Amino acid sequence: MTIIHARVDERLIHGQVATIWTRLVRADRIFVVNDKAIKSEMQIGALKLARPQGIKLTIASVRRALITLKSGKYENENVFVLTNNIRDMRELIDGGVKLDRVNVGNVAPHEGAKSIKASVYLNEQDEVDIKAMINAGVEVTAQMVPTESDASITIFLK
């Protein structure tokens, strides 16, 4: 399995992910990692409907994703890993999933969060998690769309 792209986007699969990012990175499979989504039949249904035609979809909890991503189950596929929050992405990395780069695309306002750029709001815990990913050797960028600069997220942190 090759993880070809890892993105934090609270909207999970939506227009940009389905039509632009998936095609750009040439994904065979979108792997959605979210503990809440896996427990909601409505969310699962929405993700299945949003999945681009011809692209496989896996939806898993963080725990199940760790097992699956490290098992080699999708070794002949290009996998696009998608979480809806920074914490879940950090848990994957801390759990041993090898990622070179994480793209933070969209994080909506949430408790204690401040805007660091359009579409990205972070609180103190988010910043701690980002710094932990960077310290683990992962490049973390803040990029909403592919035409935007893929600059390191650290230039936006104060």
* Residue 14 falls in the annotated catalytic set: yes
SS (H, E, C) the chain: CEEEEEEEECCCCCHHHHHHHHHHHCCCEEEEECCCHHHCHHHHHHHHHHCCCCCEEEEECHHHHHHHHHHCCCCCCEEEEEECCHHHHHHHHHCCCCCCEEEEEEECCCCCCEEEECCEEECHHHHHHHHHHHHCCCEEEECCCCCCCCCEHHHCCC
Catalytic hit among 4, 10, 11, 14: 14
List, by residue number, the catalytic residues. Answer: 14
